[in-house]
Amino acid sequence: PELAQTRFKNYKTQALAYSFPEGFSGKLTEMGLTATRTSATGLKAAIIREKGVNSDREMAYMLHLAGFDVKDVHMTDLISGRETLEDIQMIVFVGGFSNSDVLGSAKGWAGAFKYNERAKKALDAYYARPDTLSLGVCNGCQLMMELGLIFPELADQHPRMLHNESGKFECTFTAVTIADNRSVMLSSLAGSKLGIWAAHGEGKFGFDSKVRDYNVIGNYHINQYPANPNGSEDGAAMVCSDDGRHLAMMPHLERSMFPWNWPYYPADRKNDDVSPWIEAFVNARKWVEKHRR
């Protein structure tokens, strides 16, 4: 009960401090979007799944809503060679509990890439192309850390994911502040403070060097438990590649897309169709439109 009261007060406090991006209308039509699109756009994104992941449908819907044609790709597709990602320009590693997380922090999922020749070849070729984007959320973030996909130049000093300081799985609605950044997906949200769901057991970023040496672009709005649910230094919640194309984050933006997803949403914006997180996917679609082959 005491923790529940603390979280309730935290929700209420952070709701009063939200900062939405300037000019955000909250209306799908004003962003050129429709929830009833049935025609293809030719802009191809793929959801990468492994045994035990979740939130793939929420993520697929957000990509579809933003204007992508979305492909479902299971690891068996990559391992068998049925899928090569050659025609894909954005991939998303979703959240959940890959392989039951019994090996911890997506190590088993990472192994499926490292030790299967076709899957590894497809992934390496994808990241070698200059016209691709990627996003990893929660379990997908853990995977990207295991594979060293955000800062490949750091090798052994790449961030890793550690157990929450609480020693428990934490599921909470918190908020993040977006720093000035060059991220393809989040640059337009710089300066915003937005509510977001977090749900993980190993969400603490482990940095071998100083935090400023890593491109941390999003921080929990209060660097204290439970607003910072895992104990990451400086409340680090999101990291991005230096070129802005590859993003990894622990909290779930795809679960925070609609006003009714938020325990508290600004009262003067109750007629919004979507929350500002939709901009991340719209930004990705616009980038792909400019860079597709």
Question: Which active-site residues does the annotation give?
Answer: 138, 252, 254
The strand pairing partners of 162, in sequence order, are 204
The span from the CA of 22 to the CA of 42, in Å, is 30
Q: Which helix (H) or strand (E) holds 286?
A: helix 278-291
The pair of structure tokens assigned to 268 is 């003067």
Q: Which residue has the tokens 């088993």?
A: 108
- 182 φψ region: left (φ > 0), alpha (ψ -120 to 50), beta (else): alpha
Q: What are phi and psi of 190, to 5 degrees?
A: -55, 135
The strand pairing partners of 176, in sequence order, are 194, 220
Are the CB atoms for 150 and 240 separated by under 8 Å?
A: yes
Are the CB atoms for 88 and 127 separated by under 8 Å?
A: no
